Structure 1
Amino acid sequence: MNKFMNMLENVLLPVADKLNNNRYLTALRNGFMVALPLIIFGSIFVVLANLPFLDKLIGEDAYQAYQQALSPASQATLTIMGLFVIMGIGYKMVEQRGGEAIYGAAVSVAAFVVLTPQVLGDTANVIPTSVLGAEGMFLGIFTAFVAAELYQLFVSKDLTIKMPKGVPGAVARSFSALIPISLTLTIFLAVRILFGFTPYDTVQNFIYTIIQAPLTSLGSGLPATIVAVLLIQVFWFFGLHGQIIINSIFDPIWYALNEQNLEAFQSGADVLPNIVTKQFIDTFIVGIGGSGMTLAVLLAIFVVAKSRQLKDLGKLGIGSGIFNVNEPVIFGMPIIMNPLVIIPWLLAPVVVAIVTYTLMSIGFAPRPAGIIVPWTTPALLSGYLATGNKIMGTVMQLINMGIVFIIWLPFLKVMDKQYYESEQKAN
């Protein structure tokens, strides 16, 4: 066991440290955080627009009118969520360098729009909302990275207009940003023109065909999901926030898959296209007490604990655990660097991921509907909401809690026995 832990520490910790401190991944993570309140707002109204049995209560015509009245909430947020992510990334990229962050956001959005074909069918000067959502997510991320870097490069080369003293600060900053922004957008315009001579015609088609579609297909599969879930647990075991590290890499894929499911759900599709989405991870794994699904662990502690240490841990952790905050368990048990818990800590979420994927693939449980449920939503309620108000989403979470409970039970008994005997000797 010690050799195995040393191997994991020597191999994974340096990698995790580099990922955690990588400024591009940091900007990506923080960019999604900028968009998160808007995403949650839109998701709440998707839930309200699809309340169960409402069409039976108020009639079909009234129900359609009700849905149409609420639809702008999701169309103005979820449908174009990529736009908010681009703003956030551009802002955070420039902010990291100490520059005028608002111009990082502005130039990133403008660069993306420059690359975007403004034609929908036979209508010109129209941007399809699809490219502002899942379809354009990857291009938007790359564009924000490059645009922010170019802007900062031109600023660092002092390619700015200096205004005389006495000019208001806002005016001076605007003129200072004029040349860096103009040069940056000129480069993106040249890229757009050049792609018009290629078989792909647009940068969107190129990115989606060459990069996004293959990565999305890979990320939607069970093997990649198992690797992601396992790495989250491994990083946490060594004291690193595994969820933040892995989400920085997988969120663009999971959110794109989420958006596809939301579009299908809103169109009334019988079967949603994806099983693995952002909410597959957040609701059916992490959303059951936090990383490691420790709400079920706390319930197991209440069943088996005789030692004062575990009893106190259960009382301390259950309140926050209901709302998916599990630092009391991670640091109080402790989970970090504790060889007694490494097997259930790594095994339980992987088993849950496999079982959930399998039951959703055969139709026993509903697939996530693309609705972003706030991460503090208690388990059972979150499963219901994330699947579009379906009770089998709650049932799936109950099954997952049962799996974690069973896997952890024998290890908790061993741990509790050790703690109890130590406490008896101390008395």
Structure 2
Amino acid sequence: MRKLTILIILLIVGYMVGIWTFLLFPQILIVGGMKALMLYIAISAVLAAVPYYSLEATKRSRYFFFEYLTKVSKTPGIGISLLMFIIIGASLILYYSSLGITSIVGKGNTLYVALAVVLSLLLSSLILFRAKEKSVVLMGWFAILFLIFTLISWYIIRNFALSVAEKAVPVQFALETLTGNIKSTHLSITFPLVIKIILLAFLGLGLGFGFYIVFGTFLPEETDSRALIGAGYVLQLLIGVLATYIVVYSLAVSFPGTAILYGHATINKATGYIVKIAAALTEIKSMQAKTVLYLLMISVYLAGMTTFIPLIETAGHIISESMQSSRNRAISVALTGVFAVSLILTSRYLRTLFLALFFSFLGIMVAVETLPLILSGNILSKRAKLYSSVVGICGLLVGISITVRTLSLGAWEKLGIVAGVVLLVPLLLNSVLLKTKP
């Protein structure tokens, strides 16, 4: 049982630490320094209660996910909304993970990214279909691989950056500036930075997808949910800081003159740095630079896959329950949906649309995720319901704030908001969906 608990903790860590950790964590620390880190720790520590209550809700009730939504919270539409958001979020993760891995060979064009998407889906299928009831164990071991690889990457990339800095003054200056910012206690915290920190906290804990509510159905009654979430939270925080230094070292070597600008880039532009860093490291033309390139991009790829696979397992569970189909067929449907959206993302304009949709509605989906906890009847305490209500309201306000800001941007961002409204339509159909249940 102890071994299983450790593997579950590592699975949760792998799920929490995703590709967005590598993209956003460095940004908030470069811009906000230690103040931003402390604020992130405080916000994510407060939010960490939601995964705990989510695990406990279905673990205590012993209901499956849709059973819980139908018999307890009376909100089956939430399952459909979360499923659509999972497909979108998983597709973005898969696309950018694939973009990173193709950058190793300097092939970031549509054909190679699409090929990487297909191969990644095949890898995911192999893990999910072959593992069956042992999928939790296998995903735990996959997370271990990621953690070990991240540690090795940090050590080698750090040594390379320091050795280059000794010979190149611009690289040394960039390193001193970036690491100085990270350690600074004097940088100001602006409202846009606070919003980005909250978004990172949502993503760092894996909120907005219903993962923990589904995962709670698999946990044995004797499992300590506090230990799972607590250990996962601490480890993902440490890996987040480690990922920041990995990216910072890579930036300093790749763009010594403009590396500091990464902290101020929009989320859309930050994702483009994956290819830019790869191109810059390729131009250095040394074995050490190639090693750094491989380690960085494989770390980003593994970070994406350790989040992607649990999300597909979650989507498969939701589809299996709602459609009364087998697990394999449900996962096949989820993977097909992700494949279709991932191919759409190869269009720059549609990619902008889906990024705007995802980040604008993330806070709103966190609010949606708290509804089954608020409407949990006697399963959760009044304190848990009140706590979930406060988090839900905060998530909703953050979502509305980002949506309003996004509406002031370009046409494709506006279309992303319009498309995102579809995510909320199932919430209006709860009464209809309840009537269709036996």
> Shorter-chain TM-score: what band?
under 0.3
Q: TM-score, normalised by structure 2?
A: 0.25
- Structure of higher CA gyration radius: 1
More helix by share: 2
